[in-house]
Amino acid sequence: MKINNTTIVDEFAEAFPMTASRLLVTAADAYWVEVAARESTGYATSVIGCDAEAGIERWLTPEETPDGRCGVSLLFFGFSRDGVQKAVVNRVGQTLMTCPSTACFDGMPAAEKRIEVGGALRYFGDGYQISKLLEGRRYWRVPVMDGEFLCEETLGTSKGVGGGNFLILGRTQRQTLGAARQAVEAIATLPDVICPFPGGVVRSGSKVGSKYKKLRASTNDAYCPTLRATVASALPDDVHAVYEVVIDGLSEEAVVEATRVGVKAACVEGVVAISAGNYGGNLGPVHIALREILAND
């Protein structure tokens, strides 16, 4: 199978179940919304070494937010509800409560399973915090030096899917990176998904295990151009750069659609092939076959 001049390798991405939560964050203006979004989702690329995987789902207009201000929708993923709660409480407390003018709202109000966030952070108010119940939803108002930090007591959680991915194999670093950026920008238009790595792109793709016993993952040597003559390389001779796009979503369908859209956007000049990362089906139960999802396009 080819799209434009890019070969779609007969491979599948191997994804796995996760727990997700959505935060709606608002602030006084677009500048502080962006600051809050970048800070709160920083260092949240892979649960291999981070407390969560997180990213910007989409930017919100004042008409879409609970308090009529500029806002952003953020998605956080972890392996368990307890893990998500710990990560979200820490990040909201350290990067949103500290950020000028912000407020934090639940982006999954209908969810039955929930995590305590505002309820855990209210103690920072040192007894001066105030709660308010509106339409069955409890909010905490914590006094801070520019007024109050408003945060919902609990946030909803849902099942999610993590680890969706595809690999972009290109002739030059510049061409391959350009294709990766186009793919991430196309995925960013879709709901219910994020690409958690820096700019949505991974250069240090990994494999399970290592020669060093303490490491759970190590460099994906089969896709490293400088190791072509040393290992069993998966790279064609004319490929000199590889980038991976990793996708987390609120459903398998959302991850599949993001993969389809991203792969199509990446099939540009200089991209030799698109492949995907898997571990023989042993890591996760969600298998996304590239050729299958692109067959009807």
pLDDT digits (tens, 9 = 90+) for 33-85: 999 999 999 999 999 899 999 999 999 999 999 999 999 999 999 999 999 99
Given a cut of 90, is residue 194 above it in pLDDT? yes
CATH of domain 19-158: 3.30.70.520
Q: Are 104 and 152 in contact (CB under 8 A)?
A: yes
Given a cut of 90, is residue 296 above it in pLDDT? no
Q: Place 152 in a pLDDT band, splitting at 50, 70 and 90.
A: very high
Q: Cβ of 88: how many Cβ atoms within 10 Å?
A: 27
Answer yes or no: same fold for 2-14+161-294 and 19-158.
yes
Q: Are 275 and 169 in contact (CB under 8 A)?
A: yes
What is the structure's pLDDT at 37? 98
Q: Counting every residue, how long is the chain?
A: 297
What is the structure's pLDDT at 256? 98
Percentage of the chain modeled with pLDDT above 90: 93
- Decide if domain 2-14+161-294 falls under CATH 3.30.70.520: yes
Average pLDDT over residues 253-266: 98
What is the structure's pLDDT at 208? 86
Given a cut of 80, is residue 236 above it in pLDDT? yes
Q: Place 280 in a pLDDT band, splitting at 50, 70 and 90.
A: confident
Domain boundaries, the chain: 2-14+161-294, 19-158
The per-residue pLDDT of the chain, averaged, comes to 96
Given a cut of 80, is residue 185 above it in pLDDT? yes
- Bridge partners for 243 per DSSP: 168
What is the structure's pLDDT at 191? 98
Q: Place 281 in a pLDDT band, splitting at 50, 70 and 90.
A: confident
Average pLDDT over residues 187-192: 98
What is the structure's pLDDT at 297? 74
pLDDT digits (tens, 9 = 90+) for 99-142: 999 999 999 999 999 999 999 999 999 999 999 999 889 999 99
Average pLDDT over residues 241-259: 98
What is the structure's pLDDT at 118? 98
In a 10 Å sphere around its CB, with 0-12 CB exposed, 13-18 middle and 19+ buried, how is residue 82 labelled?
A: exposed
